[in-house]
Chains A and B, each alone.
Chain A
Amino acid sequence: SQKIEQNSEALNIQEGKTATLTCNYTNYSPAYLQWYRQDPGRGPVFLLLIRENEKEKRKERLKVTFDTTLKQSLFHITASQPADSATYLCALDIRGATNKLIFGTGTLLAVQP
């Protein structure tokens, strides 16, 4: 069956360190993958999109990698700050389908000052 897995445990890191979040998928062949940030009680906010033919994408302190052989994406936040504390969701486009995205369950990141 199709499945998207993100770290189910909360990730606690110290301010200034690099946070690394994982998104693994099975039985999908996505054309692209997206990462979103969600704060409690609010809608998700788009962060980055990476296509299947791209290995890496950067935006300021954020970096995303996409390995279609391993079926995995890694999301990095460098020089993390307490304001980065939130839930991070990965989402996969379904190749050949419409604009549908399939979302993972998210990873809660807590950055300690």
Chain B
Amino acid sequence: DGGITQSPKYLFRKEGQNVTLSCEQNLNHDAMYWYRQDPGQGLRLIYYSQIVNDFQKGDIAEGYSVSREKKESFPLTVTSAQKNPTAFYLCASSIARAEQFFGPGTRLTVL
């Protein structure tokens, strides 16, 4: 059963704490993406990766970091440098120049 999964569904972060959001896909897609969505807003690209061991900054990369050590996995770390991290985070994957498949999302709240 192919798909893309994200965990956890809900995440709470204290001030000054780093947290890592998981994203896994078994669709054999080369490209993976992280987006942030704020209430009433569209999706904004944080980071994307087109191939293992390579990734590029999106439009709002400051305060975030990623790794792509395996084709299936693209974890996102929200660092303490991200001053306003409360948002809905979406991971997606795709083959070249085609539609993107999204995970169910992680809702991050700062306490």
Contacts and interface: CB of A to CB of B under 8 A. Distances in A.
Interface of A: 4, 31-32, 34, 41-46, 49, 89, 93, 98-106
Nearest to A51: B97
Interface string B69-106: 00000000000000000001010101011111111110
B41 interface: yes
Interface residues of B, number: 28
Given A49-B99, A98-B31, 7 more contacts: A4-B42, A41-B88, A43-B92, A89-B43, A99-B33, A99-B48, A100-B45
B2 interface: no
10 A-B pairs closest in CB distance: A43-B102, A46-B99, A105-B42, A103-B43, A103-B42, A99-B31, A44-B102, A43-B105, A43-B90, A104-B42
Interface of B: 31, 33, 35, 40-45, 48, 50, 56, 58, 88, 90, 92, 94, 96-105, 107
A49 B58 CA distance: 22
A55 B104 CA distance: 32
Contacts of A43: 90, 92, 102-105
B97 A46 contact: no
A93 B102 contact: no
Contact of B42 (A93, A98, A99, A106): A106
Contact of B105 (A4, A41, A98): A41
A49 B45 CA distance: 20
Nearest to B29: A99
